[in-house]
Amino acid sequence: VYEVEFVVVCIGKFNSAPKMPALPSDKGPEVFKGKVMHAKEYLMMDELDAVELIEGKKVVIVGTHKSAFDIATQCAREN
């Protein structure tokens, strides 16, 4: 079991609305104590806010492709 402080969901960035996976109500983001955000939300943040959000934190990235790789690279660089 891994414990993280927030989750970034990197699926569907190039759609008009972020796609969040459908999860059972007792196993979704609402039971996670940390922050859950879509890649689109993260990428809309300015650089300083993004660094402040991830610096010194354990982060899990769900998904793949450009958004996931960009965010994972920044998380690795800041941590």
Domain count of the chain? 1
pTM: 0.68
Looking at residue 51, what is its pLDDT? 92
Q: What is the DSSP letter of 75?
A: H
What tens digit of pLDDT does each residue of 32-48 get?
777 778 888 888 999 99
Short-list 32, 34, 41, 39, CA closest to 61: 39
What tens digit of pLDDT does each residue of 5-27 get?
777 777 765 555 566 667 677 77
**Single-letter residue type at 23:** L
Provide the residue range defining the domain that includes 62: 6-78
1 inside domain:
no
Short-list 40, 41, 37, CA closest to 57: 37
**Residue tagged 């996976």 (tokens):** 21
What is d(CA 22, CA 73) in angstroms, rounded to the nearest whole number?
27
**Residue tagged 């990428």 (tokens):** 43
* Long-range CB contacts (within 8 A, 24+) of 20-25: none
